[in-house]
């Protein structure tokens, strides 16, 4: 008997629930003197939350891919466990953000349950929205600078990073725009390079304005990838890449922030007491984990008696270094494999769906997810210069979690439709 999608999803969520319980239990056992047994309720709460998400998926997208939600649950569980281990207060806030994110996820599924393709008609609205969101932090009065990058907005007590949502709006716009113009653009006429130039200019502007290199690279990479998918022209990627290198060289000249990042990437130890401190200490953290890791709750992140972590921004940008120390090569590789499988499932959706908008949407969303993981982890392990960006679903940070749940909702909507067409309902 063939299992129905949602049954498979439920079984997988059960496994994730068990893993979450084990994770929290290990943290509790290792650090029982610090934290109370009440913390174990996190696992129960977590299970309940995902049970609700599952029920909503069952109602709204019954045929959606059954592995995406459990993988997102697993990633948030790993992240929450580690954030909890690093500081229970942050974990409580992250827990709240996950609740909000699941609510937004449910809302997105519910609103778009009949046909998400209506989004295509609003593509220019999404494009403008993306620009608006990107410019927001640069406006005086609302924007705040954190760690050298201006990418936050303040609204009362709530801090939000609009760039995370802007990336989704941008993908919707590109999917709609490229679906319509792909034949024309593919002819490689000079005047059709216009939009590409606009995208490039915008990415560079964002890069310079906000000093947020990570997001800049992400937008640009995703835009290029989607143009390639739409047109099948390598030349666009080549031109785009050259333009990016030239642009980056220019930014390197004018931005001390960017220059420091690149010099640290080339020779971290030389700057180990200044800009390179974070990356060097993070490397030590990863190396200390070794093959098997220290075990959850037993890694070393602070000096004795100190509450400051040796690595700044440990639970956001650098959460991978913390996980790699406590879970070791085994755990870190497993984590990366989850990203890989998630990406594979996402691209599978793009392959099986039959209309251009859906294909571009699914491919764009999936590639964003994979590229974002690559940009931050690649920066930490030294493959590329380090840029502060969150690890999807795992890092501490509300905007990121909410945006990634919307991304998940998008992929599930596309796959629901594609699978429903295939079963013929």
Q: Which residues bind another protein (CB under 8 A)?
A: 30-34, 225, 228-230, 232, 269, 272-273, 280-281, 283-292, 294-295, 298, 300, 302-305, 307, 310, 324, 328-329, 332-333, 336-337, 339-340, 343-344, 347, 350-351, 354, 356, 359-360, 363, 366-367, 370-371, 373-374, 377-378, 381-383
> For another protein, which is the closer residue by CB, 106 or 375?
375
Rounded to the nearest whole angstrom, what is the least distance from the CB of residue 51 to another protein in the complex? 29
Q: Confirm if 349 and 175 have CB atoms less than 8 A apart.
A: no
Between helix 234-254 and helix 256-266 the angle, nearest 10°, is 110
Cα–Cα distance for residue pair 204/197, rounded to 1 Å: 10
Q: What's the CA gap between 282 and 287, in Å, rounded?
A: 9
Q: What is the distance between the alpha carbons of residues 168 and 165, in angstroms, rounded to a whole number?
A: 5
Q: In angstroms, what is the minimal distance from the CB of 328 to another protein?
A: 7
Residue 177's contacts (CB-CB under 8 Å, 6 or more residues apart) are: 123, 127, 195
Nearby residues of 141 by Cβ (< 8 Å), 6 or more positions away: none
Q: For residues 373 and 369, what is the distance between their CA atoms, to the nearest angstrom? A: 6
Please say which residue, 96 or 383, places its beta carbon nearer to another protein.
383
Shortest gap between Cβ of 286 and another protein (angstroms)? 5
Rounded to the nearest whole angstrom, what is the least distance from the CB of residue 30 to another protein in the complex?
7
Q: Which is nearer to another protein, 11 or 341 (CB)?
A: 341
DSSP state of 238: H
How near is the Cβ of 267 to another protein at its closest, in Å? Answer: 14
d(CA 318, CA 315): 6
Least distance (Å) between residue 157 CB and another protein: 29
Contacts of 170 (CB under 8 A, 6+ apart): 126, 127, 130, 219, 222, 223
Going by C-alpha positions, the residue among 98, 133, 181, 176 that lies closest to residue 405 is: 98
Q: Whose Cβ is closer to another protein: residue 216's or residue 297's?
A: 297
At its nearest, how many Å lie between another protein and the CB of residue 93? 21
Which lies closer to another protein via its Cβ, residue 33 or residue 425?
A: 33
Task: Name the residue nearer to another protein (CB basis): 252 or 271.
Answer: 271
Name the residue nearer to another protein (CB basis): 211 or 281: 281
């Amino acid at each position: 008997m063939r299992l129905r999608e949602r049954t498979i999803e439920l079984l997988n969520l059960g496994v994730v629930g068990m893993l979450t319980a084990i994770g929290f239990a290990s943290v509790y056992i290792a650090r029982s003197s610090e934290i109370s047994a009440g913390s174990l309720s996190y696992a129960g709460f977590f299970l309940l939350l995902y049970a609700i998400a599952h029920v909503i998926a069952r109602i709204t997208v019954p045929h959606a891919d059954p592995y995406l939600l459990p993988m997102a649950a697993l990633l948030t569980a790993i992240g929450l466990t580690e954030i909890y281990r690093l500081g229970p207060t942050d974990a409580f806030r992250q827990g709240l953000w996950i609740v909000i994110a699941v609510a937004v996820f449910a809302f997105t599924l519910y609103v778009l349950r009949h046909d998400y393709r209506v989004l295509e008609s609003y593509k220019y609205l999404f494009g403008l929205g993306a620009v608006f969101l990107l410019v927001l932090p640069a406006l005086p009065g609302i924007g705040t600078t954190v760690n050298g990058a201006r990418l936050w907005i303040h609204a009362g007590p709530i801090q939000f990073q609009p760039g995370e949502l802007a990336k989704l709006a941008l993908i919707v716009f590109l999917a709609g725009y490229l679906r319509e113009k792909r034949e024309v653009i593919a002819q490689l006429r000079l005047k059709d390079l216009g939009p590409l130039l606009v995208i490039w200019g915008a990415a560079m502007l964002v890069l310079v304005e906000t000093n947020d290199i990570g997001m800049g690279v992400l937008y640009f990479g995703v835009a290029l990838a989607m143009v390639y998918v739409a047109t099948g022209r390598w030349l666009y990627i080549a031109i785009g890449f050259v333009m990016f290198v030239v642009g980056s060289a220019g930014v390197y000249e004018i931005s001390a922030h960017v220059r420091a990042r690149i010099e640290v990437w080339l020779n971290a130890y030389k700057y180990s007491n200044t800009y390179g401190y974070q990356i060097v200490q993070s490397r030590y953290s990863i190396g200390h984990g070794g093959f098997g890791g220290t075990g959850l709750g037993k890694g070393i992140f602070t000096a004795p008696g100190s509450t400051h972590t040796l690595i700044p921004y440990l639970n956001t940008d650098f959460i991978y270094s913390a996980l790699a120390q406590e879970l070791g090569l085994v755990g870190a590789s497993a984590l990366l494999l989850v990203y890989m499988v998630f990406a594979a499932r996402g691209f599978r959706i793009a392959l099986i769906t039959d209309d251009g908008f859906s294909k571009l949407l699914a491919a764009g969303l999936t590639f964003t997810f994979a590229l974002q993981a690559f940009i931050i982890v690649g920066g930490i392990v030294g493959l590329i210069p380090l840029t502060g960006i969150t690890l999807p679903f795992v890092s501490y940070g509300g905007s990121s979690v909410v945006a990634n749940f919307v991304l998940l909702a998008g992929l599930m909507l596309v796959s629901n439709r594609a699978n429903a067409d295939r079963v013929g309902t």
